A and B are shown apart, each in its own frame.
Chain A
Amino acid sequence: MFKLIKDTLLSQAVTLWGVFRKLFVKADTVQYPDEQPYMFPRWRGRIILSRDPDGEERCVACNLCAVACPVDCIALQKAETEDGRWYPEFFRINFSRCIMCGFCEEACPTNAIQLTPDFEMAEYVRQDMVWEKEDLLIDGVGKYHDYNFYRVAGKQVAGKDKGEALNEAEPVDVRSLLP
C-alpha cells in the first residue's frame, strides 16, 4: 500500500516539484535572428567543395559521398583531365533532400566535401535548392589546410611523376638485373 502510494503519488509529486522549479531557471533559447548564435566550426550546415592548397579541385569524383548519403541527394559524374587527374564533370546536391548528416564528409577520402556552419538556406522556390558544382566549389581549403590527395596517392598527375608521392621510391627499371 505504501509502496503504491510512494510510486503513484510521491514520485509524481517529486517530479512535479522538479519541473516546477525550472520556472526560475534562465531559458536556453537564443533569440535568432535578433541574436546570432555562435556556430561551432564543426557544425553540420551547408555543404561546400574545397580546393587543395595548390588551388586545384580536391574532389576526385570517387562517388563515396554519393553512396554514403542516406537520402541519395548527391549525384556526380567522373571525368579525367589529360594528365590523369579525376574530377567531377558535374556535382549536384539536392539540398531539398539533404538532412545535413555529414556522412558525405566522413566518407570523403580527399577532404573535398565539407559541411560549414552556414545553415541559412531557405528558398522560396524548391528548384533553387538544387546546387551544382559551380555553386558548391569554394576557393579555399576549408577546415583542412594542408592535405593534397595527389601528393599522397601514387597516381601520376601533371607536376608529380611516379615515385614522387609520399613515401615513394624512384620508379623501377624493369630491364635492370641488379638486386
Chain B
Amino acid sequence: MFTFAVGSALSIASILLAVIVLAAMLIWVERRMLGFWQERLGPNRVGWFGIMQVVADMIKIFTKEDWVPPFADRLTFVLAPAIIMIVVLMSFAVIPFTPEVGVIDSNVGVLFVLAMASLGAYSVMLGGLSSNNKYALLGSLRAAAQMVSYEVFMGISLLGVVVLAGSFNLREIVETQADGWYIVPQFIGFLIFLIAGVAESHRLPFDIPEAEQEICAGYHTEYSGMKFGMFFVGEYLGLVLVSSLIAVLFFGGWLGPAFLPPIVWFSLKAGFFILFFILMRAALPRPRYDQLMSYGWLFLLPLSLLNLLVTGAVVLVSTTATM
C-alpha cells in the first residue's frame, strides 16, 4: 500500500528524486537568474527557455574522462565528493516537508542536521588534501576553518528557536509556529542562521575555499568529470537544504492559508530563499578571508550568545509568570 506517510518508501524515494532533480535544475535556474540580474539572457538555447541545458550539462559531465591525477591520494580523492552528497542527502531525512511527507520524525532533528553539516567539512577538507596541489590545500585549509567556525554560531542561533519550541524535533518546531512564525521573536537568530548557512554551504559571497581569482578553484582544482559534478550538485543540495531549514525553523514550514496545499507553501518559502541566495551571489562581492573570520568570531558569536541569553530570559520569565 503506497501512502505519503512519513517514512514510507514512496516518500523517501520521491524526496530523494525531487531533491536531486531540483538541485540539478537549480544549476540552470541560477544561471538564468544571474543572467537576468546582469542584464543578459543566460542559457536559453537547449530546450524550452534553455531548460534542457541541465540535461546537456549532465551528458557532458557523465561522458567526461574520469581522471584521477597521478599525484593524488586515490582513495580519499574518490571518496571526498561522495561524502558531501551523502551527508547533505542524509540531512534531508529529518526535514518535514508537509505533515505527511518526510523520512523520519526524529526527536533530535536539529542536532542531526548540525551533525551532518559538520561531517560535510570532511568532504571539502579531504578533497583538497588528497589532491596534493597547493591551491587545493589552501582551499581545504580555508574550508576547514570557515566551516568549523560558522558551525558554532549556526548551532547557537538555532537554540533560540529550540528554546521557544521546547523541542529538537523539526516537525514539532513547525507545529509550534501555528500561532506565529519564529521569524518575529528570533529575527536576529534568523539573520545569523542565514549568514552562517551561506558560509556553511560556501556559496558566494562566502566561497572563499574555492575563490577562483585567488586560488584557482580551491579544493576542487584537480576535480573534473563526475566527481566534480558531485561537488557541484552537493553545493546546490546544500543550498536547498539551508533554504528548507530556514523555511522550517523561522517561517512555519508547510503552514499557511488553506487555499494552497502544505507542500506548495513549503516550496514557495524554500524557493524564495533559494532565489535570495542566488541574488546574493549576483550582487555581493567576496570578503577577504580574515574579514570573514573576524566577522564571525568577533561579531556573530557574541550576537548569537546574546540572542540566546535574551530568548532564554524571556522564556524563563514568561513560563515562571504563567506557572
Contacts and interface: CB of A to CB of B under 8 A. Distances in A.
Decide if A and B touch, CB cutoff 8 A: yes
Interface of A: 4, 8-9, 12, 15-16, 18-20, 22-23, 25-29, 31
B40 A19 contact: no
A12 B295 contact: no
Contacts of A20: 37, 279, 283
Interface in B171-214: 191
B295 A8 contact: yes
A27 B282 contact: no
B279 A16 contact: yes
B284 interface: yes
A9 to B, nearest CB: 8
29 contacts: A4-B299, A8-B295, A12-B284, A15-B283, A16-B279, A16-B280, A16-B284, A18-B283, A19-B37, A19-B279, A19-B282, A19-B283, A20-B37, A20-B279, A20-B283, A22-B36, A22-B37, A22-B38, A23-B37, A25-B39, A26-B39, A27-B35, A27-B39, A27-B40, A27-B41, A28-B40, A29-B40, A29-B41, A31-B41
A8 B194 CA distance: 14
Contacts of A22: 36-39
A16 B283 contact: yes
Given A12-B283, A16-B280, A18-B283, 5 more contacts: A9-B191, A15-B284, A19-B37, A23-B36, A23-B37
Top-9 shortest CB links A-B: A19-B283, A29-B41, A29-B40, A15-B283, A22-B37, A16-B283, A27-B41, A27-B40, A19-B37
Contacts of A29: 40-41
Contacts of B299: 4, 8
Nearest to B45: A31
A28 B35 CA distance: 10
Contacts of B284: 12, 15-16
Interface of B: 35-41, 191, 279-280, 282-284, 295, 299
Contacts of B36: 22-23, 27
Contacts of B37: 19-20, 22-23
Nearest to A12: B284
Nearest to A4: B299
Nearest to A23: B36
A173 B254 CA distance: 105
B269 to A, nearest CB: 18
A15 B205 CA distance: 13
Contacts of A8: 295, 299
A128 to B, nearest CB: 26
Contacts of A31: 41
B227 to A, nearest CB: 31
Contacts of B39: 22, 25-28
B278 to A, nearest CB: 10
A66 to B, nearest CB: 34
Interface centre among A15, A18, A19, A26 (most CB of B within 10 A): A19
A10 to B, nearest CB: 12
Contacts of A27: 35-36, 39-41
Nearest to B36: A23
Contacts of B280: 16
Contacts of A15: 283-284
A16 B284 CA distance: 7
Contacts of B38: 22
Interface centre among A18, A29, A31 (most CB of B within 10 A): A29
A106 B282 CA distance: 38
A76 to B, nearest CB: 39
B188 to A, nearest CB: 11
A16 B36 CA distance: 14
Nearest to A18: B283
A26 to B, nearest CB: 8
A15 B38 CA distance: 13
Contacts of A23: 36-37
Nearest to B295: A8
A29 B279 CA distance: 20
Nearest to B285: A15
